[in-house]
Amino acid sequence: MNKSKWDYSIFWKETLNQLRSEISEQEFLMWFDNISYIESTEKKIILSVPSSFYRDQVKERYLSSLENILHNLSGSSIEIDFSIKTSPITAKNEKPKKKSVTTTKNKPKPETVINKNHPDLSSDYSFDNFVVGDNSSFAANACMAIAKNPGKAYNPCLIYGGVGLGKTHLIQSIGKYSYENSEDIRVVYVTAEQFTNEFIQAIKDRKQHDFKNKYRKVDILLIDDIHFLQSKDATQEELFHTFNALYDSNKQMVFTCDRPVSEIKNLTDRLRSRFERGLNVDLIPPSFETRIAILKKKIEEKNVAISDEVIELICKNVTTHVRDLEAALTKLIAYADLLNKEITVSIAKNQLKDMFANPKLSNITIDTIQRIVSDYFNLTPNDLRGKKRTKAIAFPRQIAMYITRELTEYSTTEVGLEFGGRDHTTVMHACQRVDSKMQADPSIEPYIRNLIQKIKESGTKF
Ligand code: ADP
Ligand code: MG
């Protein structure tokens, strides 16, 4: 470390020690494992953080405590500043096979890691090949913390978000990491659909006892896509009891879902409340920069040469899922292989024109937006088009207007007409209001992003 005139690294170390004693170990590792001291100036400590999301969360949660502790230690006001360093947190900084410096304190880990393949898990999914972006850093860090210390915190954990955003990748990575790094750990991964089918089969074969034994005697239970349990009453009942048995014995559970649990219809309240217990984290669509990083990683894995121009072209045009990014890449590689040609921008444009035509946007109608938004808020499309201005209707209406402006080419005048003949200034005002509400209340944005994702998906083949 470069020793400048001002070196507050010792203060920083002690500040961390003190904070560590105030919060849980899991919480500490989650936020501070990836932060490091860079340098100091007269009144400032500069730390590196992996993303702006990280910086904002740490600021919001801990900045005042950290600055207080620093003040007490140093007797002067030292500010904390953050510099973003975007190295992938999990893959580069900490390979699973390395001895962990932070988590082995209480629990000895096996020295040698056997290269074991878990029968339920795909070798394609690991933390090493998951690219952490602003859209996923909270979820990825939580998953890593769980994988390192199953059952200790964030239990249960629910990861939710639209299709193709990495839920299966993350939940399987937890299983893989834990399985490879512990000797006798029982990990079970199933989709909710498999769980349901197995349960039905067990009833048919009168083997409920075996079924219970399988699921209630695990150390880590990973269930993917729990929205599938909608209306499956008996399976829900069974999972409820499984949940309780595992929860009582501090066994880790992780679930994924394509929407927030509150939106799963026909789910018993008691199971819903179990899912909502613990940590719920969402995955949102990646930004342009993250899409580039993901695509580059995929290209590296496939060991092909694709120019930056083509990469940019794909990422500018494929804006929904990571799965679509992969599909675009696979198509290009297949084409290039077949014809033994280099992939130029014009070949890419030509080959991917169906994907680039952006069927999502051209297919989206105001009707669809009104239907999906009103459904989400338990209203009817007519409520959004009507005259009522009660709070329960006015804000959903503003959200619907905002989304219409985001996703379609309609002018504010046209949007106003479709929403009960309102004036274009009303539409402009609505958009501004949604914008400022999103900024003031961070819980709003994920809901709106979710709605946007849903609306986009409604225009696709899915
Ligand atoms: P979901 O379960 O949310 O529908 P998946 O986990 O199946 O999505 O992800 C779809 C595809 O995209 C998978 O091949 C996955 O490996 C890839 N993927 C998603 N997010 C990332 C990421 N952040 N980094 C690397 N690959 C990703
Ligand atoms: Mg999935």
- Domains along the sequence of the chain with CATH: 2-88 (3.30.300.180), 127-283 (3.40.50.300), 288-357 (1.10.8.60), 366-459 (1.10.1750.10)
| Residues having CB within 6 Å of any atom of ligand 1 | 129-131, 136, 163-169, 294, 297, 322-323, 326
Q: How many CB atoms lie within 10 A of CB 132?
A: 28
Helix (H, G, I), strand (E, B), or coil: what is residue 41? strand
Q: Positive or negative CA dihedral for 123, 127, 133, 136?
A: positive
**Which DSSP category does 90 fall into?**
T
Chain-centre distance for alpha carbon 157:
12
Q: Which positions of the chain have pLDDT values less than 70?
A: 1-5, 86-115, 357-363, 459-462
Chain-centre distance for alpha carbon 234:
30
What is the CA(221)–ligand 1 centre distance, in A? 20
CA distances from 265 to 168, 272, 311, 447 (A): 22, 10, 40, 17
The CA angle 282-88-137, to the nearest 5 degrees, is: 15
Q: Positive or negative CA dihedral for 303, 305, 308, 309?
A: negative
The pLDDT value given to residue 459: 57
| Nearest atom in ligand 1 to 165's CA | 3
Picking from 24, 38, 147, 48, the residue whose alpha carbon sits closest to that of residue 90 is 147
The pLDDT value given to residue 460: 46
The pLDDT value given to residue 357: 59
Place of tokens 């790094």: 181
The CA angle 315-443-450, to the nearest 5 degrees, is: 40
Chain-centre distance for alpha carbon 55:
17
Summarised one tens digit per residue, pLDDT across range 75-125 is 778 899 998 875 443 333 333 332 222 233 334 444 444 567 899 999 999
The pLDDT value given to residue 115: 64
Chain-centre distance for alpha carbon 211:
31
Q: Which ligand is nearest to the CA of 161?
A: 1
- Alpha-carbon span 154 to 279, nearest angstrom: 5
Quick check: pTM over 0.95?
Answer: no
| Nearest atom in ligand 1 to 224's CA | 2
What is the CA(177)–ligand 2 centre distance, in A? 18
The pLDDT value given to residue 449: 87
Q: What is the largest CA-CA distance in the chain?
A: 75
Nearest CA to ligand 1 atom 5: 166
The pLDDT value given to residue 109: 42
The pLDDT value given to residue 39: 87
- Alpha-carbon span 318 to 168, nearest angstrom: 20
The pLDDT value given to residue 332: 92
**Which DSSP category does 442 fall into?**
T
The pLDDT value given to residue 362: 53
Q: What tokens does 145 get?
A: 């913390």
